[in-house]
């Protein structure tokens, strides 16, 4: 059963079907959302765009759920999907190795060149010891996503999932469409 949902695009933010007011667009929008809704997690500024997007979307989602406790739990999974994997981070890292005369591979950029890092960022923030997973499909397909999430409840401990689509091709082009779903008995 779907409990809450969040949509973020470069010019729209919608929480549980209601638009959230904001002034900025594009990459600056994510910083604005961070400052207005979170504000106490400076690690945000170290993240690549995919992690920033997924992190902000999950924060808005969990604020909508309410009663945030940050107590460790193993019954909630984070399973996200997208098209471009970690392309924005890959491009940023490639820039640090492209020029042989200016070859300084950046570990801080490299660590984000995996799409599942965003699921780890969400797990760390919320102390989720449950399943985290990242799946790439070349087109957004709600049927595939929902079937996959339904399957994930086969895990003996998982009772709820932060799931959905978190995609970005570069800093200015992104789309998050995530939700909180609970296991149906």
Partner 1 sequence: MIVCVAHNIISPLGVTTADNYAAVKSGRSALKRYDGLWGLPEPFVASLLDRDAYADDRQTIDEKIVIDSVSRALEGAGIDTTWTRVLFIISTTKGNVFLLDKRANAFPQERGRLGMMAREVTRHFGNPNEPIVVSNACISGVCAQIEAMRYLESGAYDYVIVCGVDVQSAFIVSGFQSFKALSPDECKPFDANRQGLNLGDAAATIVFTKKDKVGDNEWVACRGAIRNDANHISGPSRTGEGSYRALKVALGDMEPEKLAFINAHGTATSYNDEMESIAIERAGLAGVPVNSLKGYYGHTMGAAGVLETIISMQAVDDHNILGTRGFDTLGVTHPLDVSNQNRATEKRAFIKLLSGFGGCNAALLMAKGGLR
Partner 2 sequence: MDELIYTLKQQIIEALNLEDMKPEDIDDNASLFGEGLGLDSIDALELIVMMEKNYGIKLKDPTQGKEIFKSVAVMADFIAKNRTK
Footprint of partner 1 (CB under 8 A): 72, 74, 78, 83-85, 87, 90-91, 93-94, 97-98, 100, 103, 105-107, 110-111, 113-117, 119-121, 123-124, 126-139, 141, 144, 147-148, 150-152, 154-157
Output 44 or 134, the one with its CB closest to partner 2: 44
DSSP single-letter state for residue 73: B
Bridge-based pairing state of the strands 132-136 and 76-82: parallel
Give the Cβ contact number of residue 36 at 10 Å.
12
- For position 111 contacting partner 2 by CB under 8 A, the verdict is yes
107 binds partner 2 (CB under 8 A): yes
Residue 60: its H or E element: helix 49-65
Cα–Cα distance, 2 to 161 (Å, whole number)? 10
Q: E strands, 38-139, where? A: 76-82, 132-136
For partner 2, the closer of residues 31 and 159 by Cβ is: 31
State the minimum distance, in angstroms, from the CB of residue 14 to partner 1.
26
Which residues are at the interface with partner 2 (CB under 8 A)? Answer: 42, 45-46, 104-108, 111
């Amino acid at each position: 059963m779907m409990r809450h949902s969040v949509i973020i695009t470069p010019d729209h933010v919608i929480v549980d079907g209601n638009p959230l007011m904001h002034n900025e667009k594009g990459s600056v929008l994510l910083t604005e959302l961070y400052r207005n809704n979170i504000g106490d997690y400076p690690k945000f500024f170290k993240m690549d765009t995919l992690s920033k997007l997924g992190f902000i979307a999950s924060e808005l989602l969990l604020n909508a759920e309410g009663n945030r406790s940050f107590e460790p739990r193993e019954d909630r999974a984070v399973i996200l999907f997208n098209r471009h994997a970690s392309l924005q981070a890959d491009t940023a890292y490639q820039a640090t190795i492209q020029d042989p005369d200016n070859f300084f591979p950046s570990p801080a950029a490299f660590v984000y060149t995996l799409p599942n890092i965003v699921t780890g960022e969400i797990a760390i923030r919320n102390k989720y010891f449950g399943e985290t997973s990242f799946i790439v499909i070349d087109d957004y397909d709600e049927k595939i996503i929902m079937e996959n999430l339904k399957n994930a409840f086969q895990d003996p401990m998982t009772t709820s999932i932060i799931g959905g689509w978190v995609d970005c091709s570069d800093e200015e082009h992104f789309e998050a469409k995530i939700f909180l779903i609970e296991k149906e008995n």
